[in-house]
Structure 1
Amino acid sequence: MIRNLDIATIRSLQAVAEYGAVTRAAESLNMTQSALSMQMKRLDDTFGQPILLKQGRGVVLSDFATELLIEGRKLVALNDAILSRFAGVRPEGRLRVGLTSDWLFNKVAQAVRDFRQDNPRIELTINDARSRDLRAQMKRGEHDVILTTEFEAPPGAIHLAKADLAWFGAVAGHAWTERPLPLANSPSCAYYPIGVAALNKAGFDWQQIAGDGGTETWRVLAAADLGITILPRGITQTGLEVIDHGGALPPLPPTWLNVYVADTPARRLAADFTGYLRRAVCEVAAAAAA
């Protein structure tokens, strides 16, 4: 007997994965908790495998459900693509995303790509800016969701992870052994005062190297072994590597990776997108800790 999967149920499974709680997932889909729970029970019965596992006050997907969702997303995306092509369905909505410069790397780019593939009828716009600028832009109503790096976890922030900061220098470089220590960070960078405070506390003789421009300018200077810079671990930058200084340089505090979701009509989409970012950030954090 041929059985068919219900696409609405797969969408519900996707929502549970993103929110980590049946109640919140149901609210995002404008359905009752009991109705969504029944959908999950039907998936249990269909495959003879547990779909959800309790974890603290929330739930997580079982290993089987995680694999199922990978294929389920493709099914949902194909369904939406067919409707868009043959029924002339217009975009369902628009999501405006702001990402801090430090985290526009491969994993986050992949998260954006995955979201677009799974949500082909959503118009997605991306803006890159410093964290403080992103927060100001969100207050002005310019973003639906932003990813920031901050040295605090303020109210309203969704805390994805802590990321350890590290001193970065040119591959096989020697700038970090020079005195005064050449610092290749923009004075407007959020990491600059943190690095300066650490150096001053440790009694280091240091100097700001000459340079002018955006984030990439300072990274180029560091990659040229003209100075050292500060970045979160796990971020791969051509020509740069974490300096293996053996304690010769002062330790740096961790930074928070925060997401803020604005109270806009795109709030549900923004919360969904946050789930994609969370997976990307966790992968990077795990790689950095390895």
Structure 2
Amino acid sequence: MRNLDVTTLRSFMAVADLGGVTKAAGFLNLTQSAVSMQLKRLEELLGLDLFDRTGRRIALTASGEQLLGYARRMVALNDEAVRRLTDQEFEGEVTIGIPHDILYPSIPNVLKKMRATYPRLKVNVVNENTHQLLPNFEKGMYDLILTTEPTQSGDTLCALPLVWIGSPGGACWRRRPLQIAQSRNCSFRPRMIGVLDEQGVDWESAVDTGSDRSIEVTVAADLAVSAMIEGTEPAQLEVIDHGGTLPDIGMQYINMYGGEAVKGEGVTAMADLVRQAFREMGAQAKAHAVTHLKSAS
């Protein structure tokens, strides 16, 4: 009887999930040669080719894909048995990067659920914009990131509309030139300016800053309008009911990168909770849009 080694299966999962021996070795804190040797022994044990090495990126063969399903179950069962029999609570650390504009309202609830399920797990939440998060994720600085992008990429969780935001009861949006306030680093700014120019709406920048707080204060004082993802606006601001006076800004995709099972139970659990929270948010936005269309007609 031939026996599969759990350590070797972890390496196999890492290579499959991370797309190569180099990344897998870094994640596992092993040398590339050690990981390659484990894969070779696994293939020799089974008498099968598990990887297609003809292309630039390593890919699984049909046999490799079949084994991956078994490997995930075997490793998960091994870890569960060790935890329960040794009475060890899950410990670890997860670092997640999130843009400022989608921290609320979903992320606090996600963190509460993580705390309840994994009380000894340390979760580091880092706030950066999408342009910073993507390259830093590639460098291995994060286990998981969320991005706001105009196109689908990674694991797309939902699509949400960009809307005009102003001071409650404010009138700034009626005046021309339109005063706008958007962080110089915000990915929404070029699109907001683009649609205003396309529609011939005269505008001026009310403030030049990289601070999201400064933007919120300016808008709350009814000195300017801003663009945000619907449902993420802070309590002191509101969606402007402009009746078509301002142009449509379009949709924004919430994409997630990371969360592979190979990175551990904590990362996988975090990814599942984030995925659920934002998909619910997307469903609510769709329901709101349908209601709005019915009331308008």
Category of TM-score, reference length = shorter chain: 0.5 to 0.7
Q: Residue type of the partner of 2:186? A: C
Q: Distance in 1 between matches of 2:281 and 2:171?
A: 27
1:104 lines up with 2:103 in the alignment: yes
Name the structure 1 match of 2:283.
286
Name the structure 2 match of 1:132.
131
CA offsets per residue over residues 242-275 of structure 1, 9 Å max, x none?
Answer: 1101111011110110000077952553333121
SS of corresponding position for 1:30: helix
SS of corresponding position for 2:74: coil
Name the structure 2 match of 1:188.
185
8 Å contact kept, 2:94–2:143: yes
8 Å contact kept, 2:259–2:271: no
8 Å contact kept, 1:182–1:206: yes
Change (3 A) 1:233 1:126: same
Runs of 4 or more, structure 1, over 4 Å off, are: 23-29, 262-265
Q: CA RMSD in A?
A: 2.9
1:122 lines up with 2:166 in the alignment: no
1:228 lines up with 2:225 in the alignment: yes
8 Å contact kept, 2:178–2:203: yes
Change (3 A) 1:31 1:190: same
CA offsets per residue over residues 45-88 of structure 1, 9 Å max, x none?
Answer: xxxxxxxxxxxxxxxxxxxxxxxxxxxxxxx9xxx8x999xx6x
Tell which structure's C-alpha radius of gyration is larger: 2
Name the structure 2 match of 1:68.
none
1:30 lines up with 2:74 in the alignment: yes
1:237 equivalent among 225, 234, 237 = 234
TM-score by length of 1: 0.67
1:150 lines up with 2:138 in the alignment: no
8 Å contact kept, 2:177–2:204: yes
Q: Residue type of the partner of 2:273? A: Y
CA offsets per residue over residues 187-236 of structure 1, 9 Å max, x none?
Answer: 22100000000000001110001243411211111111010000011114
Q: Residue type of the partner of 1:212? A: T
Name the structure 2 match of 1:212.
209
Name the structure 1 match of 2:159.
162
Q: Distance in 1 between matches of 2:238 and 2:157?
A: 24
1:171 lines up with 2:168 in the alignment: yes
Q: Distance in 1 between matches of 2:217 and 2:85?
A: 46
Change (3 A) 1:196 1:24: farther
Q: Distance in 2 between matches of 1:287 and 1:263?
A: 27
5+ residue gaps, structure 1: 1-22, 36-75
Change (3 A) 1:180 1:174: same
2:245 equivalent among 245, 248, 251 = 248
Change (3 A) 1:269 1:192: same
5+ residue gaps, structure 2: 1-66, 289-297
8 Å contact kept, 1:144–1:267: no
Name the structure 1 match of 2:91.
92
8 Å contact kept, 1:187–1:193: no
- What are the residue-to-residue correspondences of 1:24-103 with 2, within 5 Å? 28-30=72-74, 89=88, 92-103=91-102
Change (3 A) 1:249 1:118: same
Change (3 A) 1:122 1:241: same
Q: Distance in 2 between matches of 1:231 and 1:219?
A: 11
